[in-house]
Amino acid sequence: MASKHGVAGLTKSAALEYAKSGIRINAVCQGFIRTAMVERVIDGGSISEETMIAAEPIGRIGRPEEIANAVLFLCSDDASYVTGLPMPVDGGYVAQ
């Protein structure tokens, strides 16, 4: 949890430092995403898929394209007024 707070703090601090230069800084804080790494962890028995799903209020593991969509939004003109945001894309995990 300390590392997540560190990322959030660094994101906010850097966003304030670079805002006047027109540079926006945000962070995407992802939950369990179905990637090759997560599949290896599941296959290796470190954690079960059921345990991962149970931890997510949305009731499933995320998809890579859901992270990509969040990044695309933050990089778009639609997010031109967004800076300093540690954006959770985690199926509601942080909201618990």
pLDDT tens digits, residue range 11-50?
A: 999 999 999 999 999 999 999 999 999 999 999 999 999 9
Contacts of 8 (CB under 8 A, 6+ apart): 27, 29, 86
Angle in degrees, CA 54, 57, 58, rounded to 5: 105
Among 45, 47, 44, smallest CA distance to 61 is for 47
Whether residue 5 is predicted with pLDDT greater than 90 in this model: the reply is no
Query: Rounded to an integer, what distance in angstroms lies between the CA atom of residue 14 and that of residue 18?
Result: 6
pLDDT of residue 4: 78
CB 34 within 8 A of CB 61: yes
Top-level class of domain 2-89:
alpha beta
pLDDT, residue 3, reads 79
pLDDT score recorded for residue 50? 97
